[in-house]
Structure 1
Amino acid sequence: MRWLEVIRVRTLYASASVLSYLTAAGETLTAIPELKRVEIYAGLPANTDIAIHLLWEKGAPPPYGSEPGQRMVSDLRKFGLVDHTTWRRREVPDTTLGRDVKEAGMHIDKP
């Protein structure tokens, strides 16, 4: 099962130390085989909001996120406000496209 963990941080100002932390954390996270993708986004226009997306492929998502995600949340609190959520993909039929879409989160190319 695929599921997504989203960690958002709101800092007072754009900080190089947050980016340093995320770079080091990213190196650690790449060693986890069940973690399929790590994406980091900066909010516009001020770059004081940062979103980290961790895409997992393993069992059911824990209600409070993964252990690495929880550690990251704890570490990021020193930089500002932190929000942490987990999301699972939902299976829904899509009759508008004339076929079943197995995952609501899958990407569909436009014709």
Structure 2
Amino acid sequence: MVEQNTEQGGNTMEWLEIIKVRAAGVGEGMNTELLQQVEEILESPGLTKARVYAHASVNNDLMITLTWITDSPRPWGSDLGHSLSQEFKRYGLVDHSVWTERSHNGLIVQNTEKSA
């Protein structure tokens, strides 16, 4: 499905911050601590959603996504994202990136069908 982007005047923008962690065999300790920290951060201004994903086939790989709605995206990430990245560097390799939605002439491509 393609739908019209109805965001008015560009006052706010949704952007996504992704933090990937490749841990060095730390087991469940990192998972538990990570989930506790993500629960605590949900009160950050502008943060609309925080999720934690585990890699489907690599046990020690986790990904945290932070969805923000602010006046403008921060190309280098939020203070919160940097804080989480620094904290998780003690477990292994960390990749921290910021993503914004792409559209063409105000159109956003979206799939509304759900697979069975």
Q: Which band: TM-score by shorter chain?
A: 0.7 to 0.9
Q: Name structure 1 gaps, 5 residues minimum.
A: 94-99
Q: When the two structures are superposed, what TM-score results if normalisation uses the length of structure 2? A: 0.77
Q: Tell me which residue corresponds to 1:81.
A: 93
Distance across 1 between alignment mates of 2:54 and 2:62? 5
User: Taking every aligned residue pair, what percent have the same amino acid on both sides?
Assistant: 29
Question: Quick check: 1:35 aligned with 2:38?
Answer: no
Q: In structure 2, give the amino acid aligned to 1:17.
A: G
- 1:25-48 alpha-carbon deviations (Å, 9 max, x no partner): 112211124111111111122321
SS at match of 2:43: coil
How many residue pairs were aligned? Answer: 102
Q: Tell me which residue corresponds to 1:22.
A: 34
Moved over 4 A (4+): none
**Matched-pair contact (CA < 8 Å) for 1:14–1:47:** no
Q: 1:46 to 1:14 in 2, by over 3 A?
A: farther
The equivalences for 1:94-109 within 5 A come to: 101=107, 103-104=108-109, 107-109=110-112
Larger relative strand fraction: 2
Q: Tell me which residue corresponds to 1:97.
A: none
- 1:37-88 alpha-carbon deviations (Å, 9 max, x no partner): 1111111223211111100011222121000000000000000000000001
- 1:2-24 alpha-carbon deviations (Å, 9 max, x no partner): 00000000012252221122122
Cα RMSD (Å) of the superposition? 1.9
Q: Tell me which residue corresponds to 1:12.
A: 24
